[in-house]
Amino acid sequence: MKRFMVAFTLLPFLALPARADTMEIKVLGMVCAFCAQGIEKHFRDEPAVADVMVDLNRKLVAVLLKPDAKLDDAAATRIIEDAGYKTASLNHTDRPLDIIRAEGKN
Amino acid sequence: MNEARFRISLAAFLTAVIVFAPLAAQAHPVSFKNGTGVMFFATPEWQDLEVFHSFEADEAAGLRVLRLDGEKNGQSLDRRVFGAQYNKLLKRWWWEDAQANIYLGGGLGVADGKGVSGDPVGIGLLQADYETQRVYSALKLDLFESEEFTHLNWTADLGASPYAANYDELAPWFILRFSQMTGMDDKPDVIPTFRLIYKQIFLEGGVSLDGDPRLTFMIHF
Protein backbone atom coordinates (compact mmCIF):
# COMPACT_ATOMS: atom_id res chain seq x y z
CA MET A 1 0.00 0.00 0.00
CA LYS A 2 2.82 2.36 0.93
CA ARG A 3 4.56 1.69 -2.41
CA PHE A 4 1.32 2.35 -4.22
CA MET A 5 0.94 5.69 -2.41
CA VAL A 6 4.50 6.73 -3.33
CA ALA A 7 3.96 5.82 -6.97
CA PHE A 8 0.63 7.63 -7.01
CA THR A 9 2.26 10.76 -5.50
CA LEU A 10 5.06 10.77 -8.10
CA LEU A 11 2.77 10.21 -11.06
CA PRO A 12 1.94 13.91 -11.69
CA PHE A 13 5.65 14.77 -11.71
CA LEU A 14 6.39 12.11 -14.30
CA ALA A 15 3.74 13.68 -16.50
CA LEU A 16 5.37 17.14 -16.36
CA PRO A 17 6.82 18.39 -19.64
CA ALA A 18 10.50 17.63 -20.10
CA ARG A 19 12.93 20.41 -19.30
CA ALA A 20 14.62 22.23 -22.15
CA ASP A 21 17.48 20.34 -23.76
CA THR A 22 19.86 22.99 -24.99
CA MET A 23 23.32 22.72 -26.53
CA GLU A 24 25.51 25.70 -25.67
CA ILE A 25 28.43 25.76 -28.07
CA LYS A 26 31.39 28.14 -27.88
CA VAL A 27 32.75 28.78 -31.38
CA LEU A 28 36.18 30.11 -32.24
CA GLY A 29 36.58 32.86 -34.84
CA MET A 30 32.89 33.70 -35.12
CA VAL A 31 33.22 37.42 -35.80
CA CYS A 32 30.91 38.20 -38.71
CA ALA A 33 27.18 37.67 -39.20
CA PHE A 34 27.64 37.38 -42.96
CA CYS A 35 30.02 34.46 -42.52
CA ALA A 36 28.14 32.78 -39.66
CA GLN A 37 24.93 32.28 -41.66
CA GLY A 38 25.87 28.69 -42.34
CA ILE A 39 25.73 27.81 -38.66
CA GLU A 40 22.11 28.89 -38.27
CA LYS A 41 21.12 27.46 -41.66
CA HIS A 42 22.55 23.99 -41.01
CA PHE A 43 21.17 23.68 -37.47
CA ARG A 44 17.70 24.74 -38.66
CA ASP A 45 17.89 22.02 -41.31
CA GLU A 46 18.20 19.39 -38.56
CA PRO A 47 14.83 17.75 -37.72
CA ALA A 48 15.80 17.54 -34.02
CA VAL A 49 16.33 21.29 -33.69
CA ALA A 50 13.53 23.55 -32.42
CA ASP A 51 15.38 26.87 -32.35
CA VAL A 52 18.84 28.35 -32.78
CA MET A 53 20.47 31.45 -31.36
CA VAL A 54 23.78 32.91 -32.54
CA ASP A 55 25.59 35.49 -30.42
CA LEU A 56 28.75 36.95 -31.95
CA ASN A 57 29.65 38.95 -28.84
CA ARG A 58 29.82 35.84 -26.65
CA LYS A 59 30.95 33.57 -29.53
CA LEU A 60 28.03 31.38 -28.54
CA VAL A 61 25.64 29.18 -30.50
CA ALA A 62 22.69 27.89 -28.47
CA VAL A 63 20.62 25.09 -29.98
CA LEU A 64 17.28 24.12 -28.45
CA LEU A 65 16.30 20.53 -29.23
CA LYS A 66 12.74 19.38 -29.69
CA PRO A 67 11.28 17.31 -26.84
CA ASP A 68 12.54 13.73 -27.02
CA ALA A 69 14.68 14.56 -30.06
CA LYS A 70 18.39 13.80 -30.15
CA LEU A 71 21.32 15.46 -31.83
CA ASP A 72 24.62 13.98 -30.79
CA ASP A 73 27.65 16.10 -30.00
CA ALA A 74 29.60 14.83 -32.99
CA ALA A 75 26.81 15.91 -35.36
CA ALA A 76 26.67 19.36 -33.77
CA THR A 77 30.43 19.73 -34.00
CA ARG A 78 30.32 18.67 -37.65
CA ILE A 79 27.71 21.35 -38.39
CA ILE A 80 30.00 23.98 -36.89
CA GLU A 81 32.90 22.66 -38.99
CA ASP A 82 30.78 22.56 -42.18
CA ALA A 83 30.03 26.22 -41.57
CA GLY A 84 33.77 26.88 -41.50
CA TYR A 85 34.28 27.26 -37.77
CA LYS A 86 35.82 25.41 -34.87
CA THR A 87 34.14 24.31 -31.66
CA ALA A 88 35.85 25.42 -28.47
CA SER A 89 33.40 23.74 -26.08
CA LEU A 90 29.98 22.11 -26.08
CA ASN A 91 27.75 21.81 -23.01
CA HIS A 92 24.25 20.50 -22.49
CA THR A 93 22.03 22.64 -20.29
CA ASP A 94 18.34 22.90 -19.49
CA ARG A 95 18.16 26.64 -20.07
CA PRO A 96 15.58 28.01 -22.51
CA LEU A 97 16.89 30.20 -25.33
CA ASP A 98 14.98 33.22 -23.98
CA ILE A 99 17.12 33.16 -20.85
CA ILE A 100 20.32 32.81 -22.87
CA ARG A 101 19.27 35.63 -25.19
CA ALA A 102 18.46 37.87 -22.24
CA GLU A 103 21.90 37.27 -20.73
CA GLY A 104 23.47 38.57 -23.93
CA LYS A 105 21.57 41.83 -23.77
CA ASN A 106 22.70 42.63 -20.22
CA MET B 1 35.99 31.44 -81.96
CA ASN B 2 33.24 32.29 -84.42
CA GLU B 3 30.01 33.97 -83.45
CA ALA B 4 27.99 30.77 -83.34
CA ARG B 5 30.42 29.11 -80.96
CA PHE B 6 30.48 32.20 -78.82
CA ARG B 7 26.70 32.23 -78.61
CA ILE B 8 26.71 28.56 -77.57
CA SER B 9 29.28 29.34 -74.87
CA LEU B 10 27.22 32.26 -73.64
CA ALA B 11 24.03 30.17 -73.60
CA ALA B 12 25.82 27.43 -71.63
CA PHE B 13 27.12 29.97 -69.17
CA LEU B 14 23.72 31.59 -68.62
CA THR B 15 22.10 28.17 -68.20
CA ALA B 16 24.65 27.32 -65.55
CA VAL B 17 23.98 30.61 -63.77
CA ILE B 18 20.27 29.85 -63.74
CA VAL B 19 20.94 26.36 -62.39
CA PHE B 20 23.32 27.55 -59.71
CA ALA B 21 21.56 30.70 -58.58
CA PRO B 22 18.63 29.12 -56.73
CA LEU B 23 21.03 27.04 -54.65
CA ALA B 24 22.12 30.20 -52.91
CA ALA B 25 25.63 31.33 -52.96
CA GLN B 26 28.47 32.84 -51.15
CA ALA B 27 30.38 35.83 -52.26
CA HIS B 28 33.58 35.11 -50.40
CA PRO B 29 35.80 32.76 -52.35
CA VAL B 30 34.45 29.93 -50.17
CA SER B 31 31.59 30.20 -47.65
CA PHE B 32 29.93 27.28 -45.85
CA LYS B 33 29.09 23.76 -46.99
CA ASN B 34 26.14 23.80 -49.40
CA GLY B 35 26.05 27.57 -49.33
CA THR B 36 25.65 29.59 -52.47
CA GLY B 37 26.48 33.22 -52.99
CA VAL B 38 25.94 35.88 -55.58
CA MET B 39 28.16 38.92 -55.91
CA PHE B 40 27.85 41.90 -58.20
CA PHE B 41 30.51 44.59 -58.39
CA ALA B 42 30.32 47.66 -60.57
CA THR B 43 32.26 50.76 -61.44
CA PRO B 44 31.55 52.89 -64.51
CA GLU B 45 34.43 51.11 -66.28
CA TRP B 46 34.11 47.51 -65.18
CA GLN B 47 31.61 45.09 -63.72
CA ASP B 48 31.93 41.62 -62.25
CA LEU B 49 29.10 39.14 -61.61
CA GLU B 50 29.89 35.96 -59.68
CA VAL B 51 27.79 32.98 -58.62
CA PHE B 52 29.58 30.46 -56.44
CA HIS B 53 28.50 27.29 -54.66
CA SER B 54 30.50 25.81 -51.79
CA PHE B 55 30.25 22.06 -51.92
CA GLU B 56 32.55 21.75 -48.91
CA ALA B 57 33.50 24.17 -46.15
CA ASP B 58 36.82 24.72 -47.91
CA GLU B 59 35.95 24.31 -51.60
CA ALA B 60 33.74 26.24 -53.97
CA ALA B 61 33.11 26.45 -57.68
CA GLY B 62 31.24 28.96 -59.70
CA LEU B 63 30.82 31.12 -62.71
CA ARG B 64 31.63 34.73 -63.37
CA VAL B 65 31.29 37.41 -65.99
CA LEU B 66 33.74 40.29 -66.13
CA ARG B 67 33.03 43.28 -68.34
CA LEU B 68 35.56 46.01 -69.01
CA ASP B 69 34.40 49.17 -70.71
CA GLY B 70 37.05 51.83 -70.41
CA GLU B 71 40.00 53.35 -72.19
CA LYS B 72 43.64 52.41 -72.33
CA ASN B 73 46.23 54.55 -74.13
CA GLY B 74 43.46 56.50 -75.80
CA GLN B 75 41.84 53.38 -77.23
CA SER B 76 38.42 52.10 -76.31
CA LEU B 77 38.61 48.90 -74.34
CA ASP B 78 35.37 46.95 -74.46
CA ARG B 79 35.80 43.30 -73.57
CA ARG B 80 34.13 40.59 -71.59
CA VAL B 81 35.35 37.42 -69.94
CA PHE B 82 33.04 34.49 -69.23
CA GLY B 83 34.66 32.07 -66.84
CA ALA B 84 34.34 29.09 -64.56
CA GLN B 85 36.42 29.08 -61.39
CA TYR B 86 37.37 26.80 -58.51
CA ASN B 87 38.30 28.28 -55.13
CA LYS B 88 40.05 26.59 -52.23
CA LEU B 89 40.37 27.73 -48.64
CA LEU B 90 44.03 26.93 -48.17
CA LYS B 91 44.30 27.81 -44.52
CA ARG B 92 42.09 29.24 -41.80
CA TRP B 93 43.19 30.36 -38.38
CA TRP B 94 40.66 30.62 -35.58
CA TRP B 95 41.10 32.61 -32.43
CA GLU B 96 38.58 33.42 -29.75
CA ASP B 97 37.89 36.87 -31.19
CA ALA B 98 39.42 36.78 -34.66
CA GLN B 99 39.76 34.81 -37.85
CA ALA B 100 42.28 34.82 -40.71
CA ASN B 101 42.15 33.08 -44.06
CA ILE B 102 44.12 32.37 -47.20
CA TYR B 103 42.23 31.46 -50.36
CA LEU B 104 43.53 30.32 -53.73
CA GLY B 105 41.51 30.04 -56.90
CA GLY B 106 41.88 29.30 -60.57
CA GLY B 107 39.78 28.86 -63.63
CA LEU B 108 39.32 29.14 -67.34
CA GLY B 109 37.29 31.51 -69.41
CA VAL B 110 36.70 32.82 -72.85
CA ALA B 111 37.00 36.43 -73.96
CA ASP B 112 34.69 38.46 -76.11
CA GLY B 113 35.45 41.84 -77.64
CA LYS B 114 37.32 43.56 -80.40
CA GLY B 115 40.42 41.54 -81.27
CA VAL B 116 40.01 39.08 -78.42
CA SER B 117 36.78 37.18 -79.21
CA GLY B 118 37.17 33.51 -78.54
CA ASP B 119 40.53 33.82 -76.85
CA PRO B 120 41.00 31.53 -73.88
CA VAL B 121 41.54 33.34 -70.58
CA GLY B 122 43.27 32.04 -67.47
CA ILE B 123 41.79 33.20 -64.18
CA GLY B 124 43.68 33.28 -60.90
CA LEU B 125 42.79 34.35 -57.38
CA LEU B 126 44.78 34.85 -54.21
CA GLN B 127 43.15 36.36 -51.14
CA ALA B 128 44.28 36.79 -47.55
CA ASP B 129 42.21 38.39 -44.83
CA TYR B 130 42.07 38.98 -41.11
CA GLU B 131 39.07 40.18 -39.18
CA THR B 132 37.57 40.73 -35.78
CA GLN B 133 34.20 42.28 -34.99
CA ARG B 134 35.83 45.73 -35.13
CA VAL B 135 38.80 45.43 -37.48
CA TYR B 136 39.02 44.14 -41.04
CA SER B 137 41.93 43.81 -43.43
CA ALA B 138 42.27 42.02 -46.73
CA LEU B 139 44.54 41.66 -49.72
CA LYS B 140 43.09 40.27 -52.94
CA LEU B 141 44.69 39.53 -56.30
CA ASP B 142 42.37 38.69 -59.18
CA LEU B 143 44.10 37.83 -62.46
CA PHE B 144 42.74 37.57 -66.01
CA GLU B 145 45.40 36.50 -68.47
CA SER B 146 45.15 35.87 -72.22
CA GLU B 147 47.48 36.13 -75.19
CA GLU B 148 46.23 39.64 -75.90
CA PHE B 149 45.78 41.08 -72.42
CA THR B 150 46.63 40.85 -68.77
CA HIS B 151 44.36 42.37 -66.17
CA LEU B 152 45.37 42.05 -62.55
CA ASN B 153 42.96 43.60 -60.11
CA TRP B 154 44.66 44.02 -56.78
CA THR B 155 42.83 45.36 -53.77
CA ALA B 156 44.04 46.14 -50.27
CA ASP B 157 41.49 46.96 -47.56
CA LEU B 158 41.84 48.37 -44.08
CA GLY B 159 38.58 48.75 -42.22
CA ALA B 160 37.03 49.42 -38.83
CA SER B 161 33.55 49.17 -37.41
CA PRO B 162 32.33 51.73 -34.84
CA TYR B 163 30.88 48.96 -32.68
CA ALA B 164 30.92 45.20 -32.39
CA ALA B 165 27.68 44.33 -34.14
CA ASN B 166 25.94 41.19 -33.00
CA TYR B 167 24.46 38.53 -35.26
CA ASP B 168 21.06 40.18 -35.71
CA GLU B 169 22.30 43.76 -35.81
CA LEU B 170 23.27 46.01 -38.69
CA ALA B 171 27.07 46.10 -38.98
CA PRO B 172 28.57 49.28 -40.47
CA TRP B 173 32.17 49.37 -41.67
CA PHE B 174 34.41 52.23 -42.76
CA ILE B 175 37.06 50.92 -45.13
CA LEU B 176 40.00 52.56 -46.82
CA ARG B 177 40.59 50.69 -50.07
CA PHE B 178 43.55 50.79 -52.43
CA SER B 179 42.86 49.17 -55.78
CA GLN B 180 44.05 48.97 -59.35
CA MET B 181 42.99 47.08 -62.45
CA THR B 182 46.19 46.80 -64.45
CA GLY B 183 45.80 46.99 -68.19
CA MET B 184 43.15 49.63 -67.66
CA ASP B 185 43.99 51.87 -64.70
CA ASP B 186 47.22 53.86 -64.95
CA LYS B 187 47.57 54.18 -61.20
CA PRO B 188 46.08 52.78 -58.04
CA ASP B 189 42.84 54.28 -56.77
CA VAL B 190 42.28 55.27 -53.17
CA ILE B 191 38.66 54.59 -52.33
CA PRO B 192 36.99 55.51 -49.04
CA THR B 193 34.31 52.84 -48.76
CA PHE B 194 31.26 52.31 -46.56
CA ARG B 195 30.00 48.78 -45.98
CA LEU B 196 26.78 47.52 -44.41
CA ILE B 197 26.20 43.92 -43.40
CA TYR B 198 22.90 42.56 -42.17
CA LYS B 199 22.81 38.80 -41.77
CA GLN B 200 23.27 37.37 -45.30
CA ILE B 201 23.14 40.71 -47.09
CA PHE B 202 26.25 42.72 -47.87
CA LEU B 203 26.19 46.17 -49.47
CA GLU B 204 29.21 48.33 -50.08
CA GLY B 205 29.69 51.67 -51.79
CA GLY B 206 32.64 53.96 -52.29
CA VAL B 207 33.96 56.83 -54.36
CA SER B 208 37.59 57.04 -55.40
CA LEU B 209 39.54 60.22 -54.78
CA ASP B 210 39.25 60.77 -58.56
CA GLY B 211 35.47 60.72 -58.23
CA ASP B 212 34.70 57.26 -59.62
CA PRO B 213 31.88 55.51 -57.75
CA ARG B 214 31.78 51.77 -57.12
CA LEU B 215 29.25 49.43 -55.64
CA THR B 216 29.30 45.85 -54.38
CA PHE B 217 26.28 43.73 -53.50
CA MET B 218 26.46 40.18 -52.15
CA ILE B 219 23.96 37.73 -50.78
CA HIS B 220 24.24 34.25 -49.26
CA PHE B 221 21.64 31.56 -49.32
ipTM of the complex: 0.79
Strand stretches in chain A, DSSP E: 21-28, 49-55, 60-65, 86-93
What is this structure's pTM?
0.82
Helix (H) or strand (E) holding B42: strand B35-42
Distance CA B166, CA B172 (A): 11
Name the residue of chain A whose CA is nearest to B98's CA.
A29
Distance CA B39, CA B65 (A): 11
Q: Can you list the alpha helix ranges (DSSP code H) found in chain B?
A: 3-20
Chain segment A25-84, per-residue pLDDT in tens? 999 999 988 888 999 999 999 999 999 999 999 999 999 999 989 999 999 999 999 999
Chain segment B146-158, per-residue pLDDT in tens? 999 999 999 999 9
A59 CB neighbours in chain B (<8 A) are 96-97
Q: Please check the confidence at residue A15 and state whether its pLDDT lies above 70.
A: no
Distance CA B180, CA B188 (A): 5
Closest CA to B158 of B185, B133, B193: B193
Residue B1 confidence (pLDDT): 43
Query: Does A35 contact chain B (CB < 8 Å)?
Result: yes
Tell me the DSSP string of A58-86. Answer: TTEEEEEEPTT----HHHHHHHHHHTT-E
- Determine, for residues B167 and A56 on separate chains, whether the beta-carbon distance falls below 8 Å: yes
Distance CA A8, CA A14 (A): 10
CA atoms B153, B154, B158, B163: torsion sign: positive
Looking at the complex, report in whole angstroms how far the Cα of residue B126 sits from the nearest Cα belonging to chain A: 19
- For residues B24-51, average pLDDT: 83
Residue B21 confidence (pLDDT): 37
Residue A35 confidence (pLDDT): 82
A35 CB neighbours in chain B (<8 A) are 28, 31-32, 99
Q: SS3 for A106?
A: coil
Nearest 10 degrees: Cα torsion B19, B55, B96, B126:
-80
**Structure letter (DSSP) for residue B98:** -
pLDDT category at B16 given cuts 50, 70, 90 is very low
Compute the half-sphere exposure of residue B16: CA atoms within 13 Å on the CB side of its CA: 19
B93 CB neighbours in chain A (<8 A) are 29
Distance CA A85, CA B95 (A): 10
Q: Please check the confidence at residue B31 and state whether its pLDDT lies above 90.
A: no
Q: What is the mean pLDDT of chain B?
A: 87
Nearest CB to A29; choose among B58, B98, B200: B98
User: Are B51 and B38 contacting, i.e. CB atoms less than 8 angstroms apart?
Assistant: yes
